[in-house]
Amino acid sequence: MPELPEVETIVRDLRKEIVGRIFVDIWTDTESLIKKEDFESFKKKIIGRKIIDIGRRGKNIIIDLGSDDILLIHQKITGHLLLGNWELKDNKWIAPEGPLSTDPMNRFLHVVFYLDDKRQLALSDARKFAKIMFLKKDELEEEFDKLGPEPLEDDFTFEKFRKMFLKKKGKIKQVLMDQSFIVGIGNIYASEILFRSKIHPEEKIENLKDEDFKNIYNAIRDILNESIKLRGDSFSDFRTIYGEKGGFHKIIKVYQRKGMGCVNCGEKIERINLGGRGSFFCPKCQKKR
């Protein structure tokens, strides 16, 4: 699932590419991806609207249409937005030569927004779990009311981070992945953050010291920023709006490296199941307390 660095990469690219553009038409073969209303009603609200700005909250992409109107897109597990020029032939989208046509992850187009510059903004989603909604700005608060703080905001200080744990219990990796506690950290990033912090994924919060929380805090901000610079992680389905892979998977230290040598000590990386997810760690560098 695209997490904070992947969604932020998409938002920054879209902000450069399509702010000021106007939606002139919409196509879909999966109307169920449009939530809260039928497709024809949604279509009438979107066509003719100008894109004023594009932002992000957690994994949600927020397209500001002005007049307090919002186009909200959550890509879910396998969805990613693409920008390009396709032709619809025999109910099949044909892309020009390049990543949009050669990478199989970019072939699952189910919603296509036509723009006034002859390009299209398309949602590719192999499993069709994404959601697209037209909302009023005052509805965003309800939509986001269960989301935790943004870890890369300036006001997300270590002091604020440390206080969040004062009455929190549980295993550290599961807590970091809880989007109601803090947004943007998925399985890959949680594994990498804890490896850098030298903390076992099953470590209980009550066993951690102030120094541990400081290391986790720094690792969160450093790793998420590193991934943004590398344009996200493409270990699985994620692609940029140009259909290209991000680069973070090239520097992964533990995720999906079971049986391989630790980059720090050479010990073999191990894998355990934690909360239904595979968790990767070095048994020497990340010993349980």
How large is the angle between the packed helices 210-229 and 4-18, nearest 10 degrees?
A: 40
Closest CA to 2 of 146, 193, 179: 179
Could you tell me if 4 and 224 are in contact, meaning their C-beta atoms sit under 8 angstroms apart?
A: yes
**Catalytic residue list contains 277:** yes
Cα 51 to Cα 22, 181, 256, distances in angstroms: 6, 31, 39
Check 271, 277, 283, 284 and give the catalytic one: 277
Check 2, 5, 151, 201 and give the catalytic one: 2
**Rounded distance between C-alpha atoms, residue 8 and residue 61, angstroms:** 9
Check 3, 8, 192, 203 and give the catalytic one: 3
Check 59, 245, 253, 257 and give the catalytic one: 59
What angle is formed at CA 101 by the lines to CA 98 and CA 106, rounded to 5 degrees?
Answer: 115
CB-based burial of residue 246 (10 Å sphere; 0-12 exposed, 13-18 middle, 19+ buried)? buried
Residues catalogued as catalytic: 2-3, 59, 277
